[in-house]
Amino acid sequence: MQNTKSPDFVIPLVTVILLIIGVVMVHSASTVLSEEHFHDAFYYFKRQLMWASLGLISMYVMSRVDYRLFARYAPHLMLMCLLFLGLVLIPHVGQVRGGSRAWLGIGTFGIQPSEFAKFGLLIFLSWFLSREPDRMRSFRKGMVPPLGVMALVIGLIMLEPDLGQSAVIAGATMIVIFVAGAQVKHLVAMAAVGLLAFAALIAAAPYRLARVLSFLDPWKYPDTIGYHIIMSLIALGQGALIGVGLGHSTQKHLYLPEPQTDFIFAILSEELGLIGGAVVVLLFTVLIWRGLRAAMRAPDRFGSYLATGLTGVIAVQVFINIGVVTGLMPVTGITLPFLSYGGSSLTLMLTAVGILMNISRYAHY
């Protein structure tokens, strides 16, 4: 197999455009909050710029590293991810932020092991499923092992707890298993079991049940569990077609909580309107298309499954985040790739794009 002269240029081009929009919107959405908490209107902007720079470096490096190298160390990477997921649950080792013990680090700097586990699991599954393609004909040999590993990862993440990351991992895993040749009846059965499991998890925790109730009728709980969704919908409504103008959001003035993270699409739509939001959705659509294109043209099954999984993570997170912001899904705490403020999530998403670029180098036309 010979490298193409260069990777698919559309993938990094669209990614960098989204990243630039994200850095600008993080600054615009966070100025009031930054001034209020840190007496520095550029606090979040400077940190986002730092993480974006590190992520771009990682993206470039990964675009030059042969993706097949990951197959060689897939089991080791999976074991490391499980180790870190276990460490984060130990008191005084894992940090509690936003009600979840999901971080490892010192002070304000930290990493989120669940983000690493998300991509570590995809690498492991791609390696495992590509070794014996015929195993997918058997439910016991083809479905049980990958689903067992996925259940272990999700189980550890739910102990943090983090339902949003678990949903993304479950969605991306099912996409990879489907592409690997799983029978539809097996997928339907597992999807039904998964939905029942998520329903049980929601019913078991009062705050999760409250999120579902607020999703069904947020106006019934305007001062409590429905507040986030109502403020988000107000932002979308105020944006109308062309928006109120960059930097002129009303909702970022401490009305919409954490506007620079999970609800950044609401601020973007308020300031840039329906047109701005549609442009962002179009850019994500192009990126997902090119990712799937790289998967279909990959020279081996490992590359195809890995590209599918990485693209699937982006697609599932975009779907969930925008679904939450527009009131179509319950609040889950999922960031919008490349746009939301964040360290681990942004850096690893850009790293994933670098791997996609590398896979596209080996494309068969």
- Whole-number pLDDT of residue 1: 47
- Whole-number pLDDT of residue 109: 67
Q: Give 159 or 314, the one with higher predicted confidence.
A: 314
Query: Which two structure tokens, joined as six digits, stand for 295?
Result: 């998967």
- The Cα–Cα gap between 187 and 77 comes to 26
Is the pLDDT assigned to residue 177 strictly greater than 50?
A: yes
Report for 86-95, 104-113, 203-212, 244-253: range of highest mean pLDDT: 244-253
Q: Looking at 12-26, 115-129, 190-204, 299-313, which range is the least confident one? A: 190-204
Grouping H, G, I as helix, E, B as strand and the rest as coil, residue 24 is helix
* Residue range 301-339, pLDDT digits in tens: 999 999 999 999 999 999 999 999 998 888 888 899 999
Answer for the pair 142, 126: CB distance below 8 angstroms, yes or no: no
CA distances from 136 to 94, 142, 296 (A): 38, 4, 19
**% of the chain surpassing 70 pLDDT:** 96
Any idea what DSSP says for residue 336? P
- Whole-number pLDDT of residue 220: 81
Q: Looking at 10-19, 81-90, 190-199, 276-285, which range is the least confident one? A: 190-199
- Whole-number pLDDT of residue 46: 94
Is the pLDDT assigned to residue 95 strictly greater than 50?
A: yes
Average pLDDT over residues 170-194: 86
- Whole-number pLDDT of residue 5: 62
Average pLDDT over residues 30-44: 91
- Whole-number pLDDT of residue 218: 84
Answer for the pair 100, 88: CB distance below 8 angstroms, yes or no: no
Is the pLDDT assigned to residue 84 strictly greater than 80?
A: yes
Q: Looking at 78-87, 132-141, 206-215, 333-342, which range is the least confident one? A: 206-215
Query: Which two structure tokens, joined as six digits, stand for 203?
Result: 């019913």
User: Which residue, among 224, 240, 165, has the nearest Cα to 198 in the 3D structure?
Assistant: 165
Q: Give 144 or 26, the one with higher predicted confidence.
A: 26
- The Cα–Cα gap between 239 and 122 comes to 38
Q: For the chain, which residues make up each domain, given as ranges?
A: 10-361
* Residue range 263-295, pLDDT digits in tens: 999 999 999 999 999 999 999 999 999 999 999
Cis peptide before 161 (omega within 30 of 0): yes
Is the pLDDT assigned to residue 137 strictly greater than 80?
A: no
Average pLDDT over residues 127-144: 82
Question: DSSP assignment of 69-103, as one string?
Answer: HHHHTHHHHHHHHHHHHHHTTSTTTEEEETTEEEE
Question: DSSP assignment of 263-325, as one string?
Answer: THHHHHHHHHHHHHHHHHHHHHHHHHHHHHHHHHT-SSHHHHHHHHHHHHHHHHHHHHHHHHH
- The Cα–Cα gap between 285 and 289 comes to 6
10 Å CB burial of residue 350 (0-12, 13-18, 19+) is: buried
Cβ-based neighbours of 289, under 8 Å, separated by 6 or more: none
pTM over 0.85: yes
Cβ-based neighbours of 67, under 8 Å, separated by 6 or more: 302, 303, 306, 355, 358, 359, 362
Q: What is the mean pLDDT of the chain?
A: 89
